[in-house]
């Protein structure tokens, strides 16, 4: 079995200990078909059960959703990460939101642990679509009142939404995995400069130096890393990325780190999609000693050595705090400066 670790109070930021947990009995949580196991975990932490729903696919390939629990004047939460088949799961989410709105829900929160379209965040070529913005608009049009997500591929995607967004981070949970290890000769490495800020925050949590790769993306599954910024020679690398899809970037980074004198590497990410040949690539690479991820998306069934950290308690606590009107950002005090309370303005 995979080694899944639930959050504990020792992390100081992600155990569901808020007094608001006893107030959630009047909320309704539905699960899409993308990751029912995560929804069950979230509801177990909330002390409630998942409300039933039914999704039907007709002979013409159209979907229909029916919510089988009363939603009238209730706060409704729909859990659905956007994973393969992404378009089916997106459409199912939109239909569930529409059904909840038609059932007179007081509010509808889309809990999207992995927002896949966050990678489509800019116009970097002529006549190209920006899917991150389009899907955000579709969710708002369908009737979403709020979005709860985790580790967006780019921070600016937050601004695509016209409804409030609670953007959670998993770096504190992932850091817990490494605190029990000997880190005396370790360095945190970001695969690219775009992720360097998050890697730097992660390195601060572990008291480690940080380095980053200089990456150029040639295609969806083809990248070139031509340099490493930072001192990595003779050290053990802890590679942190937001998402691993095919594993191409990680393998390219491993080749460059080996040239730079790195002895071994542990690879960590928030969203472990592991599509295509990713599992084979990562588990068989001689430099990679372990791979650590979270359960924002379903884990592959053929990788028992994979280390999986559960973020269900984080999402449960966020839902409880939203429902009670409490601060969500305070969940990450001391974890991510981006979630810190506003500081007093300097006198002019």
Residues 281 and 152 reside in one and the same domain: no
Residues 29 and 88 reside in one and the same domain: yes
Residues 140 and 190 reside in one and the same domain: no
- Cβ-count burial of 256 within 10 angstroms (0-12 exposed, 13-18 middle, 19+ buried)? buried
Residue 218, domain member (yes or no)? yes
Residue 323, domain member (yes or no)? yes
Residue 261, domain member (yes or no)? yes
Residue 348, domain member (yes or no)? no
Give yes or no for a contact between 250 and 282, defined as CB atoms under 8 angstroms apart: yes
Give yes or no for a contact between 129 and 147, defined as CB atoms under 8 angstroms apart: no
Percent of the chain with pLDDT over 70: 87
Residue 187, domain member (yes or no)? yes
Q: How crowded is the C-beta side of 43, counted as CA atoms within 13 Å? A: 22
Give yes or no for a contact between 277 and 303, defined as CB atoms under 8 angstroms apart: no
- pTM of the predicted structure, to 2 decimals: 0.88
Residues 202 and 305 reside in one and the same domain: yes
CA–CA separation, 309 and 307 (whole Å):
7
Quickly count: other Cβ atoms within 10 Å of residue 205's Cβ.
18
Residues 120 and 131 reside in one and the same domain: yes
Residue 92, domain member (yes or no)? yes
In this model, does residue 7 exceed pLDDT 90? Answer: no
Residue 117, domain member (yes or no)? yes
Q: Which domain holds residue 221?
A: 171-309
Q: Which residues are catalytic?
A: 215
3-state secondary structure of 126: coil
Q: What is the CATH number of the domain that holds 92?
A: 3.40.50.2020
Give yes or no for a contact between 274 and 300, defined as CB atoms under 8 angstroms apart: yes
Give residue 238's pLDDT band: very low, low, confident or very high (50, 70, 90): very high
Residues 54 and 73 reside in one and the same domain: yes
- The model's pLDDT over 44-73, given as tens digits with 9 standing for 90+, comes to 999 999 999 999 999 999 999 999 999 999
Residues 319 and 240 reside in one and the same domain: no
- The model's pLDDT over 116-162, given as tens digits with 9 standing for 90+, comes to 998 877 777 788 899 899 999 999 999 999 999 999 988 889 899 99
CA–CA separation, 310 and 239 (whole Å):
19
Q: Give the residue carrying structure tokens 């095919």.
A: 246
Residues 270 and 224 reside in one and the same domain: yes
Residues 93 and 196 reside in one and the same domain: no
Residue 236, domain member (yes or no)? yes
Given CA atoms 36, 38, 39, 43 in this order, what sign does their dihedral have? Answer: positive
281-to-248, 249, 266, 272, 275 alpha-carbon distances in Å: 8, 11, 14, 13, 11
- The model's pLDDT over 274-303, given as tens digits with 9 standing for 90+, comes to 999 999 999 999 999 999 999 999 999 889
Residues 58 and 155 reside in one and the same domain: yes
Counted domains in the chain: 2
Residues 236 and 299 reside in one and the same domain: yes
Q: Give the residue carrying structure tokens 């080694």.
A: 3
Residues 6+ apart with CB under 8 A from 184: none
Residues 201 and 153 reside in one and the same domain: no
């Amino acid at each position: 079995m995979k080694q899944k670790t639930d959050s504990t109070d020792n992390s100081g930021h992600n155990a569901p200990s808020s007094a608001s947990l006893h107030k959630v009995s009047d909320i309704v949580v539905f699960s899409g078909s993308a990751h029912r196991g995560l929804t069950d975990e979230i509801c177990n932490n909330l002390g409630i059960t998942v409300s039933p729903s039914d999704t039907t696919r007709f002979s013409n390939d159209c979907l229909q959703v029916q919510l089988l629990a009363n939603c009238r004047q209730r706060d409704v939460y729909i859990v659905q990460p956007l994973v393969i088949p992404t378009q089916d799961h997106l459409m199912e989410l939109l239909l569930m939101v529409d059904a909840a709105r038609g059932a007179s829900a007081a509010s509808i929160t889309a809990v999207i642990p992995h927002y896949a379209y966050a990678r489509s965040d800019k116009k970097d070529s002529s006549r190209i679509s920006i899917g991150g913005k389009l899907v955000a608009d579709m969710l708002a049009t369908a009737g979403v009142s709020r979005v709860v997500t985790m580790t967006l591929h780019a921070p600016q995607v937050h601004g695509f939404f016209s409804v409030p967004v609670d953007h959670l981070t998993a770096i504190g949970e992932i850091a817990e995995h490494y605190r029990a290890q000997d880190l005396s000769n370790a360095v945190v490495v970001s695969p690219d400069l775009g992720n360097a800020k998050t890697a730097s925050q992660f390195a601060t949590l572990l008291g480690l130096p940080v380095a980053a790769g200089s990456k150029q993306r040639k295609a969806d599954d083809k990248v070139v890393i031509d340099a490493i910024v930072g001192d990595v020679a003779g050290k053990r690398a802890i590679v942190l990325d937001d998402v691993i899809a095919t594993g191409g970037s990680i393998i390219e980074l491993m080749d460059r780190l080996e040239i730079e004198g790195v002895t071994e590497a542990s690879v960590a990410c928030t969203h472990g999609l592991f599509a295509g040949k990713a599992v084979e690539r990562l588990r068989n690479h001689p430099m990679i000693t372990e791979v650590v991820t979270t359960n924002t998306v379903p884990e592959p069934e053929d990788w028992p050595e994979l280390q999986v950290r559960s973020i269900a308690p984080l999402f449960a606590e966020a839902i409880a705090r939203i429902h009670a009107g409490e601060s969500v950002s305070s969940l990450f005090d001391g974890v991510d400066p981006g979630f810190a309370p506003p500081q007093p303005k300097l006198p002019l």
